Chain A
């Protein structure tokens, strides 16, 4: 148990569906991240939020839409996805802010399959 939870753990959706992934951290951290992990590839950073403000968007297609209502919660809204978006989506948190803290704590991930 890392203090970061993600729901759902598995999701199968059609290309015309709209769904959302949820992440919650209980660590009092200020920074939260969405990553995509495809098989045998490095983790790809998608979005970064620091103190609820989005500080990074790594050229992610608009069919992925993040939302960070507070420092403890992070959502990833999905719509009109493509089969190549099938992957493991990981949420992470870190102290962020003014701390030089690089350690990130990960949730278990959501295994997404787009049919």
Chain B
């Protein structure tokens, strides 16, 4: 049973528009969430994170929103750029355990 779910395998967005990637989780013990980006033939790279004590964290064009009551988080990218085309993974961790539980990823395609 997947504890972290990314229900959209792919998403296509026009360049300059907002990209919204979604992630749902089932374990209420998760208290830290991360987004990673992965290009083909490379390992995932850390993008942005959020602690469960916050509901929003922003870094440049990237903003992550956390809705604990809905067990849902989202990553907003605005404006979307061609270099944002990649697979995005959501990951979560519980307590001081440094292990991460991963979603299956969403492939984001930015159209020119």
Measured between beta carbons, the chain A residues less than 8 angstroms from B44 are: 43, 90, 106
A15 near B: Cβ within 8 Å?
no
CB <8 Å contact, A41 and B104: yes
Size range of the interface on A?
20 to 34
A92 near B: Cβ within 8 Å?
yes
The one of B43, B96, B99 in contact with A45, judged by C-beta atoms closer than 8 angstroms, is B99
B80 near A: Cβ within 8 Å?
no
A104 to B4, CA, bound (A): 17
Interface residues of B (CB under 8 A from A): 2, 4, 9, 32, 34, 41-46, 49, 89, 93, 96, 98-105
A103 to B41, CA, bound (A): 20
Kindly specify which of A59-67, A69-77, A94-102 makes contact with the partner chain.
A94-102
CB of B46 to closest CB in A, whole Å: 5
Report whether over half of chain A's contact residues are helix, strand or loop; otherwise say mixed. Answer: loop
A56 to B89, CA, bound (A): 22
Given contacts A48-B99, A94-B98, contact A103 B34 (CB under 8 A): yes
The one of B41, B42, B98, B105 in contact with A102, judged by C-beta atoms closer than 8 angstroms, is B98
A106 to B9, CA, bound (A): 22
CB of A29 to closest CB in B, whole Å: 11
